[in-house]
Chain A
Amino acid sequence: GAVVSQHPSWVICKSGTSVKIECRSLDFQATTMFWYRQFPKQSLMLMATSNEGSKATYEQGVEKDKFLINHASLTLSTLTVTSAHPEDSSFYICSARVGRGVDEKLFFGSGTQLSVL
């Protein structure tokens, strides 16, 4: 399958600081990437859809000014958690869409555990 690289895998930051998470498609070009959040023992919650060269589309209830998404190239999307607070502590996972229609599949990065102190 396609390889999606996510970095860092673990980050600890102080409250009020910003954290950037990178998501790269290593062996393919991804015009569309997705960012998810996952709380312990829960399923994935879609935060936003990242489209190369255009603004991200955020799901209802997700603050776009707090979770800044940039998809400046066909292989890189970044999520920046601005002015992080302890309640932002979570597991963040990116994914990239490969193929279209019947052949469309979603491949995931390895995730980033964010802990805000």
Chain B
Amino acid sequence: QKEVEQDPGPLSVPEGAIVSLNCTYSNSAFQYFMWYRQYSRKGPELLMYTYSSGNKEDGRFTAQVDKSSKYISLFIRDSQPSDSATYLCAMRAAGNKLTFGGGTRVLVKP
């Protein structure tokens, strides 16, 4: 079993819909959680960073962390075709390296 599980998709939604992404993890030592967006043939771009359970909002993006369930989510409101990309969750324990999920490919259709 992988430490971080993420559905590879593709997840196809119409423009304007809410995109819902999630990851589950098994290592209870993970304390810091990130979401990255990666366009094809580009490096990942940091979207959201959280280190506690609860919600964090930034513009159209909302990140949720539920440490008791070992489950994190990313929601994208009012999705645009430019949001079409692969979204990677990543997490780490204190002082440790990042562990990535496999990525979810998202397609937002106009």
Q: Do A and B bind each other?
A: yes
Of residues 3 to 35 in A, which have CB atoms within 8 Å of B's CB atoms?
A: 4, 6, 34
Chain B, 17-58, contact with A by CB distance < 8 Å: what is the 0/1 string?
000000000000000101010000111111001010000000
Among A65-73, A74-82, A98-106, the stretch in contact with B: A98-106
Judge whether A49 and B97 touch: CB under 8 Å: yes
Q: How large is the interface on A (under 10, 10 to 19, 20 to 34, 35 or more residues)?
A: 20 to 34
Cα of A111 to Cα of B8 in the assembled complex, Å: 21
How many interface contacts (CB-CB < 8 Å) are there between A and B? 47
A93 touches B (CB below 8 Å) = yes
* Residue among A4, A91, A104, A113 with the highest chain B CB neighbour number at 10 A: A104
Chain A residues with CB under 8 Å of B102's CB are 42-43
- With contacts A44-B100, A106-B98 taken as known, whether A93 is within 8 angstroms of B32 at the C-beta atoms is no
Closest-CB distance, B60 to chain A (whole angstroms): 17
Judge whether B49 and A105 touch: CB under 8 Å: yes
Chain B residues with CB under 8 Å of A43's CB are 88, 100-103
- With contacts A6-B43, A43-B88 taken as known, whether A105 is within 8 angstroms of B101 at the C-beta atoms is no
Chain A residues with CB under 8 Å of B98's CB are 46, 106
Contact of A111 among B32, B42, B49, B100 (CB under 8 A): B42
Contact of B32 among A4, A41, A49, A104 (CB under 8 A): A104
Judge whether B41 and A113 touch: CB under 8 Å: yes
In chain A, what residue has the closest Cβ to B99?
A46
Closest-CB distance, B78 to chain A (whole angstroms): 23
Interface set of A (CB-CB < 8 Å, partner B) = 1, 4, 6, 34, 41-44, 46, 49, 91, 93, 95, 101-102, 104-111, 113
The 6 closest A-B pairs by CB, nearest first: A108-B43, A111-B43, A43-B102, A43-B100, A110-B43, A108-B44
- In the assembled complex, 24 residue pairs joining A and B whose CB atoms fall closer than 8 Å, in A order, are A1-B46, A6-B43, A41-B105, A42-B102, A43-B88, A43-B100, A43-B102, A44-B88, A49-B97, A91-B41, A95-B43, A101-B94, A102-B51, A105-B34, A106-B34, A106-B46, A106-B98, A108-B44, A108-B45, A110-B42, A110-B43, A111-B41, A111-B42, A111-B43
